[in-house]
Amino acid sequence: MLGLAAAAAGTLGVGAGPAAASGGGVVPTLSLLLAADQASDRVLLLDPNDPSWWQGGAAQRRAAARVALWSWSALDDTGLGALDPARSWQLVSDAKYRFLRGRQWVLCCASEGLAAVLPYPAGGAAWATTADGNLHAIELLPDGNVAIAASEGGYIRLYAASQGPRATRNVQLDLVGAHGLYWDAVHHLLWALGSERLVGLAVGGTPAAPQLSVVRVVHLPDPGGHDLTPVAQDHDRLWVATGRRVFQYSVSEDAFVGYAGQREIDLRGVKSVGDDPVTGQVLTVVPSTDNPCPWCTSTVSFHRPDGSRRIEGTSLYRARWMPRPPGGVRSAPDATWSSPRDRTGR
């Protein structure tokens, strides 16, 4: 299969791909943002450098929400009909960029069950499946296999996605409140975040029949593990967001450690956190009371330096940095945007 299987022998990069270095006093350009928007049921690629986000009148800002640089929805992917996206692609919960064997990928999942890996910018799922249990995270491994985390199901699954576009064979490991996943290429571990624990998983077996084993267990200093991402400026560290705190975990020290800007970044209720691999600026996404979705927001907050960007009409659950593509950004196709729906608590 051209796609994930073709990438099986490659290496995995987070924030990889060309990124312009700055010098000579030039202010570096922020990376792009890849966001999970539950108002439109779409993954959105946004440019925080675009002044229309925070300048001009309200009408101009509302229009900005409809001109994402790129977007994707399972509802528009005709190849996913058998997975019932009208039901399974509800409440988009995660979106990530990965660079594997010279190709760009967008990973995404929704709470109601659909998970997919897309070639960027072409779209069209190279692999997809559905699963129960409130999906919260997805990760791509170097062999082309795909891991998902289900919070209510309380499990991590590693799918043999390298074997075909709808491959369903998987190995499962229980983890209460599973919310986050990250493949650590430096330490060769699949990190998984649950309600009470951060666990390091060794991946064995073969691409066709993968295996998982727990090799490290870290008890969280605050309960309610929610987001897990690498610290782009330090490959030994992980961002760990819980219900009330934002930590950095040092793999080599096996300890939670202090970090620059902790006083401003260590917030309650953070749904996603990460630092820009180009500038080092940190973003956080925290639910806001003025959003129709009680666990979402229309605002992405920035730290070091501080600031924010508001994207009217959105209900963002998570947002993550994405490097600027080497060939530029393809404009998003025309899409029908829906209004935020009434939702119950999460």
Predicted structure pTM score: 0.89
Q: What is the pLDDT of residue 248?
A: 98
Quote the pLDDT of residue 51: 74
Place of tokens 């209900």: 315
User: In sequence order, what are the beta bridge partners of 58?
Assistant: none
CATH number among 1.10.287.3610, 3.30.1330.60, 2.130.10.10, 3.90.1150.10, domain 29-322: 2.130.10.10
H helix or E strand, kind and range, residue 255: strand 255-257
**How much is the pLDDT for 346?**
45
Write 24-29 long-range contacts (CB < 8 A, 24+).
Answer: 28/278, 28/279, 29/278, 29/279, 29/324
pLDDT beneath 70, residues of the chain: 1-28, 52-67, 327-346
- Output the six-digit token pair for 151: 């919070």
Q: Residue 64: its pLDDT value, please?
A: 47
Count other Cβ atoms within 10 Å, centred on residue 43.
26
Handedness of CA 187, 189, 190, 191 (dihedral sign): negative
Question: Rg (Cα) of the chain, in Å, rounded?
Answer: 19
